[in-house]
Amino acid sequence: MNEGYVDEEYLEEGNQEMVPYEDQETYDDSSDGQAGDLLMQAANLYSQCMQVEQKTEQIRMWSEVQIAKTVAKYRSCQEFLNFTFGERDKALTKHYGVLDKAVESGDRELIIAALKGISGIVTSSPLSDFDEFVKLYEDTTQPLLDF
Protein backbone atom coordinates (compact mmCIF):
# COMPACT_ATOMS: atom_id res chain seq x y z
CA MET A 1 0.00 0.00 0.00
CA ASN A 2 1.28 3.44 -0.85
CA GLU A 3 1.59 5.92 1.95
CA GLY A 4 -1.27 8.48 1.93
CA TYR A 5 -3.66 6.16 0.07
CA VAL A 6 -6.37 3.63 1.21
CA ASP A 7 -8.51 1.08 -0.56
CA GLU A 8 -12.14 2.23 -0.91
CA GLU A 9 -14.66 -0.52 -0.16
CA TYR A 10 -17.41 0.92 -2.30
CA LEU A 11 -15.50 0.38 -5.56
CA GLU A 12 -16.44 -2.62 -7.63
CA GLU A 13 -14.63 -5.86 -6.89
CA GLY A 14 -11.47 -6.21 -8.90
CA ASN A 15 -11.35 -2.50 -9.56
CA GLN A 16 -9.29 -1.48 -6.55
CA GLU A 17 -8.05 1.99 -6.87
CA MET A 18 -5.93 4.02 -4.50
CA VAL A 19 -7.68 7.20 -3.27
CA PRO A 20 -5.87 9.94 -1.33
CA TYR A 21 -6.80 10.33 2.37
CA GLU A 22 -8.06 13.85 1.85
CA ASP A 23 -10.72 12.52 -0.53
CA GLN A 24 -11.98 10.01 2.07
CA GLU A 25 -14.72 10.83 4.56
CA THR A 26 -12.90 11.36 7.81
CA TYR A 27 -13.98 10.50 11.34
CA ASP A 28 -15.41 13.59 13.06
CA ASP A 29 -13.93 14.02 16.55
CA SER A 30 -16.76 16.44 17.47
CA SER A 31 -19.25 13.53 17.37
CA ASP A 32 -17.50 12.12 20.46
CA GLY A 33 -18.60 15.22 22.38
CA GLN A 34 -22.16 14.89 21.12
CA ALA A 35 -22.29 11.21 22.01
CA GLY A 36 -20.94 12.01 25.47
CA ASP A 37 -23.54 14.76 25.88
CA LEU A 38 -26.31 12.40 24.80
CA LEU A 39 -25.04 9.77 27.20
CA MET A 40 -25.00 12.28 30.06
CA GLN A 41 -28.53 13.45 29.15
CA ALA A 42 -29.74 9.85 29.12
CA ALA A 43 -28.12 9.21 32.51
CA ASN A 44 -29.67 12.37 33.95
CA LEU A 45 -33.06 11.45 32.53
CA TYR A 46 -32.81 7.96 34.02
CA SER A 47 -31.87 9.45 37.38
CA GLN A 48 -34.85 11.81 37.22
CA CYS A 49 -37.15 8.91 36.32
CA MET A 50 -35.91 6.94 39.31
CA GLN A 51 -36.51 9.94 41.60
CA VAL A 52 -40.03 10.37 40.22
CA GLU A 53 -40.72 6.65 40.75
CA GLN A 54 -39.50 6.91 44.35
CA LYS A 55 -41.67 9.96 45.00
CA THR A 56 -44.63 8.24 43.36
CA GLU A 57 -44.15 5.24 45.65
CA GLN A 58 -43.88 7.53 48.68
CA ILE A 59 -47.10 9.31 47.68
CA ARG A 60 -48.85 5.97 47.14
CA MET A 61 -47.80 4.75 50.58
CA TRP A 62 -48.78 8.09 52.18
CA SER A 63 -52.16 7.89 50.42
CA GLU A 64 -52.77 4.39 51.75
CA VAL A 65 -52.02 5.59 55.29
CA GLN A 66 -54.32 8.61 54.90
CA ILE A 67 -57.13 6.44 53.53
CA ALA A 68 -56.71 4.01 56.42
CA LYS A 69 -56.85 6.92 58.89
CA THR A 70 -59.98 8.29 57.23
CA VAL A 71 -61.69 4.89 57.29
CA ALA A 72 -60.74 4.43 60.96
CA LYS A 73 -62.14 7.87 61.82
CA TYR A 74 -65.33 7.13 59.93
CA ARG A 75 -65.80 3.84 61.76
CA SER A 76 -65.10 5.47 65.13
CA CYS A 77 -67.64 8.19 64.45
CA GLN A 78 -70.14 5.62 63.26
CA GLU A 79 -69.66 3.57 66.43
CA PHE A 80 -69.97 6.69 68.58
CA LEU A 81 -73.24 7.67 66.91
CA ASN A 82 -74.61 4.12 67.04
CA PHE A 83 -73.72 3.88 70.72
CA THR A 84 -75.14 7.32 71.55
CA PHE A 85 -78.42 6.80 69.70
CA GLY A 86 -78.59 3.17 70.82
CA GLU A 87 -78.36 4.20 74.49
CA ARG A 88 -80.96 6.88 73.92
CA ASP A 89 -83.28 4.37 72.26
CA LYS A 90 -82.89 1.86 75.12
CA ALA A 91 -83.53 4.53 77.74
CA LEU A 92 -86.63 5.82 75.94
CA THR A 93 -87.92 2.27 75.50
CA LYS A 94 -87.51 1.62 79.25
CA HIS A 95 -89.22 4.89 80.19
CA TYR A 96 -92.13 4.21 77.84
CA GLY A 97 -92.45 0.71 79.32
CA VAL A 98 -92.59 2.22 82.82
CA LEU A 99 -95.13 4.79 81.60
CA ASP A 100 -97.34 2.06 80.12
CA LYS A 101 -97.30 0.10 83.40
CA ALA A 102 -97.94 3.28 85.40
CA VAL A 103 -100.94 4.18 83.22
CA GLU A 104 -102.33 0.63 83.55
CA SER A 105 -101.98 0.73 87.33
CA GLY A 106 -103.06 4.38 87.64
CA ASP A 107 -99.91 5.32 89.62
CA ARG A 108 -99.69 9.13 89.22
CA GLU A 109 -96.25 9.37 90.85
CA LEU A 110 -94.80 6.78 88.48
CA ILE A 111 -96.50 8.44 85.48
CA ILE A 112 -94.89 11.79 86.38
CA ALA A 113 -91.48 10.19 86.95
CA ALA A 114 -91.68 8.33 83.61
CA LEU A 115 -92.72 11.50 81.76
CA LYS A 116 -89.89 13.50 83.40
CA GLY A 117 -87.42 10.81 82.32
CA ILE A 118 -88.77 10.83 78.76
CA SER A 119 -88.75 14.63 78.71
CA GLY A 120 -85.15 14.76 79.94
CA ILE A 121 -84.01 12.39 77.20
CA VAL A 122 -85.99 14.04 74.41
CA THR A 123 -84.96 17.60 75.30
CA SER A 124 -81.25 16.79 75.57
CA SER A 125 -79.24 16.63 72.40
CA PRO A 126 -77.74 13.24 71.70
CA LEU A 127 -74.90 15.03 69.93
CA SER A 128 -73.95 17.32 72.83
CA ASP A 129 -70.91 15.13 73.51
CA PHE A 130 -70.11 14.81 69.82
CA ASP A 131 -68.48 18.26 69.63
CA GLU A 132 -66.07 17.27 72.40
CA PHE A 133 -65.44 13.96 70.66
CA VAL A 134 -64.59 15.76 67.41
CA LYS A 135 -62.25 18.19 69.20
CA LEU A 136 -60.40 15.30 70.81
CA TYR A 137 -60.43 13.44 67.55
CA GLU A 138 -58.83 16.28 65.59
CA ASP A 139 -56.23 16.87 68.30
CA THR A 140 -53.10 15.07 67.09
CA THR A 141 -51.64 15.13 70.60
CA GLN A 142 -54.27 12.55 71.62
CA PRO A 143 -52.42 9.30 70.86
CA LEU A 144 -55.40 7.02 71.44
CA LEU A 145 -57.53 8.78 68.86
CA ASP A 146 -54.83 9.40 66.27
CA PHE A 147 -54.69 6.44 63.92
Q: What is the pLDDT of residues 28-56, one digit of tens each?
A: 555 566 888 889 999 999 999 999 999 99
As a whole number of angstroms, the distance between CA 124 and CA 47 comes to 63
As a whole number of angstroms, the distance between CA 49 and CA 12 comes to 50
26-35, 53-62, 114-123, range with greatest mean pLDDT:
53-62
Q: Against a cut of 0.75, is the pTM above it? A: no
135 φ, ψ to 5°? -60, -45
Contact 134, 92 (CB under 8 A): no
DSSP symbols for 5-58 = EEE-TTSPTT---EEEGGGSPPP-THHHHHHHHHHHHHHHHHHHHHHHHHHHHH
**CA angle 87-93-95, nearest 5°?**
105
